[in-house]
A and B are shown apart, each in its own frame.
Chain A
């Protein structure tokens, strides 16, 4: 198992207004697995993603990545864990509009203390893989939505993370582009014995999942195996 989530509970506020976002959530993710977390809005998908990414501390339960309980790590070690183990694709991409596309992709490498010049060289290689080699020197606002999504993916995979986390990756893409991108990510990441977690409610891309977890009201209500 690359990731184990055991009885994770997360609530916001205190009694009597305490609201549960996650209740006793448990599951695991293995190498070469593409797990989808699906469910309606407010079901706790994003909260779960934040908890397993080391961003939002749970009130109970453990999250173990590669055998390490991440919520026992110090703040700096947690940052290092995110930097060295995870790759993020945010729903709104969160690209830096005033950096070039290549510079955006290079950010995780720069944070890993790779030299600026070497980071840019690697970023250009990855942009070539996602088909954006000719857009390397453009700022993200000059790219289409699909291209920006690919830049975000390039940024997420440039440092070759063990676990790729995608938050609503196709929310702002048309159906064909969304499918192409997910197919690309799956091929690229799973080939390297890594794992992918996708939070989505876009059923057009369910076909690419190796497993789907369905959430409602902070609970896992259904687990579907080996869709693809």
Chain B
């Protein structure tokens, strides 16, 4: 069989024009599919930045909360109630909100403010400068050094600013695994300072972060919290809920899906038509092969092999191109939200396989219908 596949390869490579058109067509389709889905996954990942960065196992929240950004404050007594639920090892409050920072030069900049439990500082980010204990100093904040750090004037330790008309001092510089989606710098402080300086509503507690005594206790905690009229989600469940919000309750998911499908159709059209033309051009030669003694199954194998070779080449080049552009984007654009995951690689591969199989099928239908008698009718 390898000789027949070598023959198929030589026939394919022999027609350089069509070979390049096929590879470029599929490359372009894969590039677009990868870019679209990578942007989508990037946006989803960045939108879940707080869930990832804070790292709590269970998040207790109002049942109507969809994303970490849109928290609905809960009454303080809920913290005590959750702490009393069997299976809870400990529970701490979390404040997540926004503040308006006035920089030294007088400019204003919105910032995300995370208020960590005063006693435990659960969910604190690792510091690259400063000491953790310095967060307890007067008006102390940690700033996250990410793509949005420069928007606060790239503050150093000791830099002062105003936040919601209160004085703030940079006491530490931190890093986080995932940057925020919305392009805002992030400040960490204690829960007490955040709730004192920032919000204006009656209730101030955005989330309760819970550590269960064991994984087996999670279901019981969820049931108990649900009975109180609130919702307790594991980090994975909260991430999924956040993903679904962006996928189904914003236009983002549908738009990306449409663009991905368009890319697929473009790739399928180019590859399908070019491959069919390739088969048509070689129809008499395939007829000659049939007359000489090639079995139909061997011709089918040749066509599939040709389409799969073109498909895999296009997939490789497409992924390479998309990766290159995303890498370039990350270099040039702060917080560029695009990430290549196994899911979108797998999805693009499946779509390329569909393109290859459909293109091959179109050609195969024609080849199986060739009457080798044509080679005698010149």
By a beta-carbon cutoff of 8 Å, the part of chain A in contact with chain B is: 46, 49-50, 53, 55-56, 75-76, 79-84, 86, 88, 90-92, 94, 96-99, 103, 107-111, 113-116, 119, 167-168
- List 5 tightest A-B contacts by C-beta distance, closest first: A83-B293, A98-B14, A94-B288, A110-B3, A82-B293
CA distance A108 to B289 in the complex (A): 8
State whether A96 and B285 are in contact (beta carbons under 8 Å apart), knowing that A46-B376, A56-B373, A76-B295 are contacts in the complex: yes
What are 30 A-B contacts defined by CB distance under 8 Å?
Answer: A55-B291, A55-B372, A55-B376, A75-B295, A76-B295, A76-B297, A79-B290, A79-B293, A79-B294, A81-B293, A82-B291, A82-B293, A91-B376, A94-B285, A94-B288, A94-B375, A96-B11, A107-B289, A107-B292, A108-B292, A108-B293, A110-B7, A111-B3, A111-B289, A111-B294, A113-B1, A115-B3, A116-B2, A119-B3, A168-B378
A96–B4 contact, CB under 8 A? Answer: no
CB of B202 closer than 8 Å to a CB of A? no
Least Cβ–Cβ distance between B10 and chain A, in angstroms: 6
Interface residues of B, count at CB 8 A: 31
Least Cβ–Cβ distance between B114 and chain A, in angstroms: 65
CA distance A99 to B294 in the complex (A): 17
State whether A111 and B292 are in contact (beta carbons under 8 Å apart), knowing that A94-B285, A96-B285, A116-B6 are contacts in the complex: yes
Which of B284, B294, B297, B375 has the most C-beta atoms of chain A within 10 angstroms of its own C-beta? B375
In this complex, what residue of B is CB-closest to A49?
B376
Least Cβ–Cβ distance between B376 and chain A, in angstroms: 5
CA distance A85 to B297 in the complex (A): 20
In the complex, chain B residues 330-378 whose Cβ is within 8 Å of any chain A Cβ = 371-373, 375-378
CB of B21 closer than 8 Å to a CB of A? no
State whether A99 and B10 are in contact (beta carbons under 8 Å apart), knowing that A46-B376, A46-B377, A111-B4 are contacts in the complex: yes
B292–A83 contact, CB under 8 A? Answer: yes
CB of B296 closer than 8 Å to a CB of A? yes
**Cβ contacts under 8 Å, B378 to chain A:** 90-92, 168
B291–A53 contact, CB under 8 A? Answer: yes
**Cβ contacts under 8 Å, B7 to chain A:** 99, 103, 107, 110, 116
Least Cβ–Cβ distance between A121 and chain B, in angstroms: 13
CA distance A18 to B377 in the complex (A): 20
**Cβ contacts under 8 Å, A107 to chain B:** 7, 289, 292
- 1/0 per residue, CB under 8 A from A, across B275-306: the answer is 00000000011011111111111100000000
